[in-house]
Structure 1
Amino acid sequence: MNTTVRLAQQPEADDLLGRSPLAILTGMLLDQQVPMEWAFSGPYTIARRMGRDDLDAHEIAVYDPDRFGALLADKPAVHRYPGSMAKRVQQLCRYLVEHYDGDAAAVWRDVGSGEELLRRLTALPGFGTQKAQIFLALLGKQFEVRPTGWREAAGAYGEAGSYRSVADITGPSSLEKVRAYKQEAKRAAKQADAKRS
């Protein structure tokens, strides 16, 4: 796996995301309630603070929880909620160790269909249906992981030419298009709520 991504908008962090299955999975896990760039630079920050060039699921799974939480909380924090996200990252790594021998890429390697891949992703700790569909679309659109029916399994996030999520971000201009889409979706939701009141 060696893909050029521009999700962290930082060369070193994006390089790690493009070559490390665990890093891209962890970035997706962290991508909530913080700006996307902050979330996807998190794996690089974690690796550096652990004194590594990459993330290792076995090492993170058994890392002392208090020390791991402190590592994510150190300034600048890896996430707005470093304590709870540290627990989630460790839960994810423990799951990967238990079910995939610590190999994050095994989640999608040799998968038979988009439906099966969606099932595997939604089984991961911290991955609900929407996050799993976005990640499935990211794998298909940017990492060439395209089992039969992957676009359908990813739902609207799998549509070609859309700008709905991180799956569609390949640089600053597409990032702006995704942000504009999300702002419009929020505005529409507020208007719909106001009409119901």
Structure 2
Amino acid sequence: MTLHLATTDDANALLAEDPLALLVGMLLDQQIPMEKAFTSPAVLAERMGTPRLDARSIADFDPDQFEALFREVPALHRFPAAMAKRVQELGRALVEQYDGDTATIWTTATSGDELVSRIAGLPGFGQQKARIFTALLGKQFDVQPAGWREAAGPYGEAGSHRSVADVVDAGSLMKVRTFKKEQKAAKSKSPS
């Protein structure tokens, strides 16, 4: 499988083979460009000196040193301290709830609603982000428990070009960006 979410082939390959890298990329996908968010897991793994991310290693990492990894130039996120803390909270939750096996979140979900609920219960994920991630899993990873499209809401619609779930090449990335700009413009015009 070839993904087109990160800026490098190596980062995309990591996302395709490492469920935690994919989840961390989704967690970081806010207030920075999508490609930066999904490239950062590979950079983090490199800075940690490991080929893949590991929930236990992240959970057990010294918090100040972990933040330093996020702050190192180029920073992994616009808000390195907050996101370092959030990624460590995610690592701890994965260890406590799923014995550190990230893929268990979706490989054992029996329905789309259960999958969305599990993802939304993780640190840094709310309902909307959980629906987008469910759509990403369904559309690009063939993780399709019963009712996944309905649980993902509009993000599950085929050809919707609403989110990262629909980015499969440069053209689809431009369609998603156009959709987001239109949504932002519509919100700014609506009365509060």
TM exceeds 0.5? Answer: yes
TM-score bracket for this pair, using the shorter chain length: over 0.9
> Given the two structures, how large is their TM-score scaled by the length of structure 1?
0.96
SS of corresponding position for 1:4: coil
Residue ranges of structure 1 left out of the alignment (5+ in a row): none
Tell me what 2:49 maps to.
Answer: 51
Tell me what 1:33 maps to.
Answer: 31
SS of corresponding position for 2:125: coil
Alignment length (residue pairs): 192
Q: For 1:183 and 1:122, locate their aligned partners in 2 and report how far apart those are by CA, in whole Å.
A: 25
Shift of 1:110: 2.5
Q: For 2:11 and 2:39, locate their aligned partners in 1 and report how far apart those are by CA, in whole Å.
A: 5
Q: For 2:183 and 2:117, locate their aligned partners in 1 and report how far apart those are by CA, in whole Å.
A: 27
Q: For 2:168 and 2:18, locate their aligned partners in 1 and report how far apart those are by CA, in whole Å.
A: 17
Tell me the alpha carbon deviations over residues 46-75 of structure 1, each in whole angstroms, 9 at most, x when there is no partner: 000011110011101000000000011000
The reply on whether 1:161 has 2:159 as its aligned counterpart is yes
Shift of 1:4: 1.9
Q: For 2:14 and 2:164, locate their aligned partners in 1 and report how far apart those are by CA, in whole Å.
A: 16
Superposed, which structure 2 residues align to 1:143-154 within 5 Å? Answer: 143-154=141-152
Tell me the alpha carbon deviations over residues 79-134 of structure 1, each in whole angstroms, 9 at most, x when there is no partner: 00001000000000000000111010000012110011111011111100000000
> Given the two structures, how large is their TM-score scaled by the length of structure 2?
0.98
Runs of at least 4 residues of structure 1 off by over 6 A?
none
Tell me what 2:71 maps to.
Answer: 73
SS of corresponding position for 1:135: helix
Q: Among 114, 117, 121, which residue is 1:123 paired with?
A: 121
What percentage of aligned pairs have identical amino acids?
A: 58
Tell me what 1:170 maps to.
Answer: 168
User: RMSD of aligned C-alpha atoms?
Assistant: 0.8
SS of corresponding position for 1:108: helix
